[in-house]
A and B are shown apart, each in its own frame.
Chain A
Amino acid sequence: MITEIIINAFLVSFMLVIALFIVNTRKVIFTILLAGTYSLVAALMFVSLDAVDVAFTEASVGAGISTILFLAALSFLPKEEVQESFNKNDIFALSICLLIGGLLIWASYDLPMVGNENNPVHQHLVSDFIEGSKNHIGIPNVVTAILASYRGYDTFGETIVIYTAGLAVFILLYNRTSKETNKSVKNEISKK
């Protein structure tokens, strides 16, 4: 129990340190790699909080595909950020963040303690899901049972979202100019 607490506290503080470094880097490649590391440490954190399915999704999708997408985008973009000095806008942003953060931390005392069995989250639905996935669906992994069966429509909606995003990316990056120039060249040839 005590080792679990120490590991948890260490990992979560490590994430904080990485996030602070991300704020300060100016080389874009460092930012991207640090973001990948951040996702990976988050995946470790999920393992220690018993969410193994979330952990391997985060490690493969959050740390893997996301980083690849960033690196692919970086090949078209400037490699270094413009130097910024600390100005009035930053003070404004910082004060807003401190205010909201302070309020959230103040409110955190009203949240239920982590890991307590009698928390309201654990009182409803869950026992039904665990029993149902054993008796009705026959899959030992409860997360899969809920994802594919009880909340199948959610997963279907998620697929639609990904399809829409993929379509939008394709439309944005589709090279129209080359086709137009092809057309104009063809027109000129036909005129001749």
Chain B
Amino acid sequence: MINEIFGVWNYWIVFTLMMIGLYIVISKKSLLKKVVGLAIFQTSVFLLYITFGKIAGGTAPIITNNSEEIYSNPLPHVLILTAIVVGVATTALGLALIVRINKAYGSINEDEISAVDLVDYHEKFSEKKNK
């Protein structure tokens, strides 16, 4: 019974975490917060993969002398190791873009950025009209 609850409990929390990450990415206006939301989404996907690899009663996949030992699945671990490092690379790139945007627009709020863009557009348009 408890095993069955635990069997889906992990999945439920992982999916909820994914949706929290997605919600932050969609609804928050601060670009920095969006990057944090992406990180949350990412980590929850990692957790999903590692959950797939778990065997109850198994140990970490490091070979011991005991031939009866059950090892958890090492393949998802390898995939996620790669994904973690790539995730940090994307985070760094996102942060560099945000710093650059802040330099150009003086704000990292989506609404303020599009307001600045709108003002620029209208100024250009009116210049053309005057000519």
The interface of chain A, by Cβ under 8 A from chain B, is 1-2, 5, 8-9, 12-13, 15-16, 19-20, 22-23, 28, 31-32, 35, 38-39, 42, 45-46, 49-54, 57-58, 61-62, 65-66, 69-70, 72-74, 76-78, 81-82, 84, 89-90, 92-94, 96-98, 100-101, 104-105, 108-109, 111, 113-117, 119, 121-122, 125-126, 129-130, 133-134, 140-143, 146-147, 151, 154-155, 158, 161-162, 165-166, 168-169, 172-173
> Residues 1-45 of chain B: 1 if any A CB is under 8 Å from the residue's CB, otherwise 0?
011101111111111111111111011111011011001100100
**Separation of A69 and B94 alpha carbons in the complex (Å):** 11
Residues of A within 8 A of B55 (CB): 50, 115-117, 122
Cα separation A23 to B92 with both chains bound (whole Å): 21
Inter-chain contacts of B18 with A (CB < 8 A)? 101, 104
Known: A50-B59, A108-B8. A117 touches B70 (CB 8 A): yes
Q: How far is the CB of A10 from chain B (nearest CB, A)?
A: 11
| Beta-carbon nearest neighbor of B100 in chain A | A172
Q: What residue in chain B is nearest A34 (Cβ atoms)?
A: B36
- What's the Cα separation between A74 and B95 when bound, in Å? 9
Are the C-beta atoms of A108 and B74 separated by less than 8 Å?
A: no
Whether the pair B24, A155 counts as a contact (CB closer than 8 A) is no
When A2-B2, A9-B6, A96-B26 are in contact, do A50 and B12 touch as well, CB less than 8 Å? Answer: no
Contact of A51 among B11, B40, B57, B72 (CB under 8 A): B72
How far does the alpha carbon of A113 sit from the alpha carbon of B85 in the complex, in Å? 29
A55, chain B: closest CB distance, angstroms: 9
Query: Contact between B43 and A62 (Cβ–Cβ < 8 Å)?
Result: yes
Nearest A residue (CB) for B52: A121
Contact present for B23 and A94 (CB under 8 Å): yes
A169 touches B56 (CB 8 A): no
State whether A58 touches B46 (Cβ < 8 A): yes
User: DSSP majority for the B interface?
Assistant: helix
Please tell me which one of the listed residues B32, B53, B71 contacts residue A31 in the complex, with CB atoms under 8 A apart: B32
Is B2 touching A19 in the complex (CB atoms < 8 A)? no
- Distance A53 CA – B33 CA, assembled complex (angstroms): 28
Whether the Cβ atoms of A50 and B58 lie closer than 8 Å is yes
**Least Cβ–Cβ distance between A64 and chain B, in angstroms:** 10
B86 within 8 A of A: yes
> Are A49's CB and B50's CB within 8 A?
yes
Q: Which residues of B contact A115 (CB under 8 A)?
A: 3, 6-7, 54-57
- In the assembled complex, the Cα of A61 lies from the Cα of B84 at a distance in Å of 8
